[in-house]
């Protein structure tokens, strides 16, 4: 069946897409405009010349590069830990037969259903007890092994890794961890890529956890730092939009190159269940 | 030793040395369970404990007094709590309902009419979902500003258009500073953010439906609208159930958008104070961890109740299976 009026379909859907993209466009336009121009009538629709002065103002108000580094560090640690721990657990659930396996896997899935918000206060207290408040480990350790990641890796390993390969490696005298590290892990490339991106994006954008854990401005991640610049009646919008644009850019670029895989990965849990 | 008698076999199996292969899976899954125990399960139990205690965190763990259901009584009789429940339910309906009412036909439309460039369209609709909620809230508070925001500028331009102009407001609207508008504005931003996510969920479910069903319906002379309601929607029922469940869980915990869009110091923030914000302020603003834990359990009960209702409406039971 061929669509009868493709241009009409396109027009409607493109208008919707435009509405969804417009705020991003304005973020980048405003990042190059001084505050006085952003709040003029009509508002600027095209890029201006103030990118440099906005950046200078941003760096004056915030330890922005440090905040960026903190976001990068937390996201990188969270991602690395998740790639290792989720693929290891996913491998165990996909390949081994062991007592309690089904119950344990049900627990993994069940943990996804718990509202994260229920845990906010007590996990804050646990982190306080451990002395991890205001430290990056207070953000990346609790998030080091996501249930969704384990589920994704299990699905992938079960469908993509031939059991014979694992048995053959064992025959050759490989230890259990060695089989995983040298035989299985190298074959997980695509799944690790998707999981890595999802984890990185989630960590990079996370607002609530850093809000509870991080207390000093030098340790703020980007979302917290940007929010702290918003003060009633005297917000430097140009500088703030510059900070926002820099924070969004790496994700938008990564997304541009991997959108199809990323969208498929994010919705895979939903579609298969 | 005679290894052929049944008794000897059983004994041999019992005494079989533990192989690496038997231990390995437990070792491999243990990091998740250790982390879950420390940062998931223990906090959960601890928050139930907290909810029945009165406690001043400044005095350390020893200063905890058992108060039974006093925290729940305190919260349930607090007019602010009632307000937060009302706001949360209002926002949940105002964000979730349009999300699904738009995403479902949109997905069906894209699925049927758009072949080439579908990835581009889907990609564009999905961008808000992968962007930081703070960045989104910041740009919206600029665009929606009363005096010089782009939205009000556009509305002012439209007043000059004949016919359409008479429907436009004659004075700039304070989208985020006026209690009448703050709630719908926050709802719109949340709707905007999750529309793409829901559309993608429905699109991926549509792809698993065999195209013959729709072709057969077309041959029988069914109009696109009839096909949507009589073929597509019934087949998507499991996905509708799943997506609505996600929306319920998410919207009852709504925190970031209202928290960032509307300044907490402003009076108007009362009209978008959700249960999550109420709990956050109880705990970290007033230091009342006991009452805040009671709130979190009440929210949990609310989520379970609504998820149950949803299961009755759209889940397996609803389908009579």
Angle between helices A101-113 and A64-95 (to 10 degrees): 150
Query: By three-state DSSP, how is residue A36 classified?
Result: helix
How high is the pLDDT of residue A203? Answer: 95
Q: What is the ipTM of this complex?
A: 0.87
Residues of chain B with pLDDT under 50: 1-3, 317-321
Domain ranges of chain B: 6-51, 73-319
Q: CB atoms < 10 A from the CB of A270, how many?
A: 16
B109 in A contact zone (CB under 8 Å): yes
Q: For residue B126, give the H/E element and its range.
A: helix B118-126
Does residue A175 register a pLDDT over 70? yes
> Which of B279, B289, B87, B57 shows the shortest CA–CA distance to B186?
B87
How high is the pLDDT of residue A206? Answer: 94
Distances (CA, A) of B162 to A160, A186, B26, B159: 62, 65, 72, 8
**Inter-chain residue contact B46 with A125, CB threshold 8 Å:** yes
- Chain A positions touching B191 (Cβ under 8 A) are none
How high is the pLDDT of residue B85? Answer: 94
Do A144 and A249 lie in one domain? The reply is: no
C-alpha to C-alpha distance for B136 and B129, rounded to whole angstroms: 10
Do A253 and A152 lie in one domain? The reply is: no
Among A26, A85, A104, beta carbon nearest to B139: A26
Residue A193 placed within a domain: yes
Do A183 and A254 lie in one domain? The reply is: no
> Which of A233, A259, A33 shows the shortest CA–CA distance to B150?
A33
To the nearest whole number, what is the mean pLDDT of chain A?
Answer: 88
How high is the pLDDT of residue B21? Answer: 81
To the nearest whole Å, the CA of B291 is away from the closest chain A CA by 11
Does residue A260 register a pLDDT over 90? no
How high is the pLDDT of residue B8? Answer: 57
> Which of A242, A119, A129, A107 shows the shortest CA–CA distance to B139?
A242
Structural domain harbouring A116: 64-224
C-alpha to C-alpha distance for B23 and A17, rounded to whole angstroms: 52
- Chain A positions touching B141 (Cβ under 8 A) are 230
Domains contained in chain A, number: 2
Residue A194 placed within a domain: yes
Categorise residue B78: left if φ over 0, alpha if ψ from -120 to 50, beta otherwise. Answer: beta
The mean pLDDT value for A45-69 works out to 91
**Inter-chain residue contact B132 with A205, CB threshold 8 Å:** yes
Q: CB atoms < 10 A from the CB of A10, how many?
A: 17
Q: What is the pTM of this model?
A: 0.88
At A105-153, the pLDDT tens digits run 999 988 887 777 778 888 898 999 999 999 999 999 999 999 989 999 9
Do A81 and A212 lie in one domain? The reply is: yes
How high is the pLDDT of residue A273? Answer: 43
Question: Between these two residues, B123 and A271, which has the higher pLDDT value?
Answer: B123
How high is the pLDDT of residue B13? Answer: 57
C-alpha to C-alpha distance for B311 and B309, rounded to whole angstroms: 5
How high is the pLDDT of residue B1? Answer: 44
B122 in A contact zone (CB under 8 Å): yes
Do A235 and A119 lie in one domain? The reply is: no
Residue A170 placed within a domain: yes
Residue A18 placed within a domain: no
Residue A13 placed within a domain: no
The mean pLDDT value for A89-97 works out to 93
To the nearest whole Å, the CA of A268 is away from the closest chain B CA by 9
B303 in A contact zone (CB under 8 Å): yes
The nearest alpha carbon in chain A to B254 belongs to A117
- Residue A6 pLDDT level (bands cut at 50, 70, 90): low
How high is the pLDDT of residue B318? Answer: 46
Chain B contacts in chain A segment 85-104 (CB below 8 A): 85-86, 88-89, 91-93, 96, 98, 101, 104
C-alpha to C-alpha distance for B168 and B158, rounded to whole angstroms: 7
A241 in B contact zone (CB under 8 Å): yes
Do A157 and A263 lie in one domain? The reply is: no
> Which of B307, B301, B310, B269 shows the shortest CA–CA distance to B76?
B301
Residue A3 placed within a domain: no
Lowest mean pLDDT among A54-58, A157-161, B54-58, B295-299: B54-58
Question: Between these two residues, A166 and A265, which has the higher pLDDT value?
Answer: A166
How high is the pLDDT of residue A1? Answer: 43
% of chain A surpassing 70 pLDDT: 96
How high is the pLDDT of residue B147? Answer: 76
**Inter-chain residue contact B113 with A223, CB threshold 8 Å:** no
Do A190 and A234 lie in one domain? The reply is: no
**Inter-chain residue contact A115 with B153, CB threshold 8 Å:** no
Do A145 and A208 lie in one domain? The reply is: yes
Do A150 and A191 lie in one domain? The reply is: yes
**Inter-chain residue contact B32 with A142, CB threshold 8 Å:** no
B213 in A contact zone (CB under 8 Å): no
The mean pLDDT value for A76-84 works out to 97
Contact B306, B248 (CB under 8 A): yes
Do A127 and A89 lie in one domain? The reply is: yes
Which DSSP string do the residues of B202-260 spell out, in sequence order?
Answer: HHHHHTTS-HHHHHHHHHTT--HHHHIIIIIHHHTHHHHHHHHHHHHHHHHT--HHHHH
Do A236 and A217 lie in one domain? The reply is: no
What value, to the nearest 5°, has the Cα angle with vertex A43 and ends A42 and A47? Answer: 130
Among A42, A119, A223, beta carbon nearest to B134: A223
Query: By three-state DSSP, how is residue B53 classified?
Result: strand
- Chain A positions touching B122 (Cβ under 8 A) are 259, 263
**Inter-chain residue contact A205 with B205, CB threshold 8 Å:** no
To the nearest whole Å, the CA of B88 is away from the closest chain A CA by 14
> Which of A12, A40, A11, A43 shows the shortest CA–CA distance to A25?
A43
Chain B contacts in chain A segment 163-202 (CB below 8 A): 170, 175-177, 180, 201
How high is the pLDDT of residue A2? Answer: 47
**Inter-chain residue contact B148 with A252, CB threshold 8 Å:** no
Angle between helices A237-272 and B237-252 (to 10 degrees): 140
Residue A55 placed within a domain: yes
Do A91 and A197 lie in one domain? The reply is: yes
Residue A231 CB-density burial (10 A; 0-12 exposed, 13-18 middle, 19+ buried): exposed
Q: Give Dmax (Cα) for chain A.
A: 75
Pair of tokens at residue A188:
């997980």
Q: What does the buried/exposed string (b/e) look like for A181-208 if buried means 16 or more CB atoms within 10 Å of the residue's CB?
A: eebbbeebeebbebbbbbbbbbbbbbbb
> Which of A228, A233, A224, A20 shows the shortest CA–CA distance to B189?
A20
Residue A12 placed within a domain: no
To the nearest whole Å, the CA of B71 is away from the closest chain A CA by 15
Any idea of the CA torsion for B139, B140, B143, B148, to the nearest 10 degrees?
-100
CATH architecture assignment, domain B73-319:
Orthogonal Bundle (1.10)
Distances (CA, A) of B176 to A7, A88, B139, B147, B166: 37, 47, 13, 12, 24
């Amino acid at each position: 069946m061929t669509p009868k009026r493709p241009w009409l379909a396109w027009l409607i859907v493109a208008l919707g897409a435009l509405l969804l993209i417009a705020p991003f466009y304005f973020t980048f336009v405003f990042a190059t405009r001084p505050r006085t121009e952003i709040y003029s009538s009509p508002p600027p629709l095209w890029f201006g010349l103030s990118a440099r002065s906005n950046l200078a103002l941003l760096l004056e108000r915030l330890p922005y590069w440090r905040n960026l580094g903190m976001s990068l560090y937390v996201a990188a640690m969270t991602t690395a830990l998740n790639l290792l721990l989720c693929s290891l657990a996913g491998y165990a659930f996909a390949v081994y037969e062991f007592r309690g396996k089904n119950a344990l896997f049900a627990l993994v899935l069940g943990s996804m259903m718990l509202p994260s918000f229920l845990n906010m206060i007590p996990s804050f207290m646990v982190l306080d007890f451990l002395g991890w408040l205001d430290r990056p480990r207070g953000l990346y350790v609790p998030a080091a092994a996501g249930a969704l990641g384990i589920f994704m890796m299990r699905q992938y390993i079960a469908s993509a890794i031939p059991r014979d390969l694992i048995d053959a490696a064992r025959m050759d005298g490989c230890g259990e961890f060695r089989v995983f590290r040298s035989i299985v892990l190298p074959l997980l490339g695509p799944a690790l890529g998707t999981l890595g991106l999802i984890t990185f994006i989630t960590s990079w954008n996370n607002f609530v956890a850093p809000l509870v854990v991080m207390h000093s401005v030098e340790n703020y991640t980007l979302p917290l730092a940007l929010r702290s610049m918003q003060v009633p009646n005297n917000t430097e919008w140009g500088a703030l939009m510059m900070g926002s644009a820099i924070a969004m850019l790496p994700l938008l670029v990564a997304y541009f190159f991997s959108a199809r895989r990323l969208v498929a990965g994010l919705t895979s849990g939903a579609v298969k269940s | 030793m005679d290894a052929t008698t049944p008794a000897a076999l059983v004994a041999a199996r019992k005494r079989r040395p533990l192989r690496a292969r038997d231990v390995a899976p437990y070792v491999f899954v243990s990091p998740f369970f250790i982390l879950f125990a420390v940062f998931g399960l223990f906090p959960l139990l601890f928050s139930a404990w907290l909810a029945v205690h009165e406690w001043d965190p400044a005095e350390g763990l020893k200063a905890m007094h058992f108060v039974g259901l006093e925290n729940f009584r305190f919260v349930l009789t607090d007019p602010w709590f009632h307000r937060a429940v009302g706001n949360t339910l209002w926002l949940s309906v105002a964000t979730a309902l349009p999300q699904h009412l738009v995403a479902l036909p949109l997905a069906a439309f894209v699925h049927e009419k758009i072949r080439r460039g579908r990835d581009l369209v889907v990609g564009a609709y999905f961008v808000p979902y992968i962007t930081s909620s703070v960045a989104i809230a910041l740009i919206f508070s600029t665009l929606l500003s009363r005096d010089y925001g782009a939205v009000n500028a556009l509305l002012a331009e439209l007043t000059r258009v004949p016919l359409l102009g008479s429907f436009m407001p004659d004075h700039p609207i304070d989208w985020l500073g006026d209690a009448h508008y703050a709630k719908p504005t926050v709802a719109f931003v949340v709707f905007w953010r999750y529309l793409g996510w829901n559309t993608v969920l429905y699109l991926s479910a549509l792809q698993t439906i065999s195209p013959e069903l729709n072709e057969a319906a077309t041959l029988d002379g069914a109009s696109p609208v009839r096909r949507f309601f009589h073929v597509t929607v019934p087949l998507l029922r499991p996905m509708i159930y799943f997506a609505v469940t996600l929306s319920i869980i998410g919207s009852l915990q709504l925190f970031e958008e209202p928290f960032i869009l509307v300044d907490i110091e402003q009076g108007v923030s009362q009209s978008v104070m959700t249960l999550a914000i109420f709990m956050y302020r109880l705990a970290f603003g007033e230091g009342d961890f006991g009452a805040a834990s009671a709130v979190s359990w009440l929210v949990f009960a609310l989520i379970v109740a609504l998820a149950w209702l949803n299961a009755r409406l759209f889940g397996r039971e609803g389908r009579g299976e």
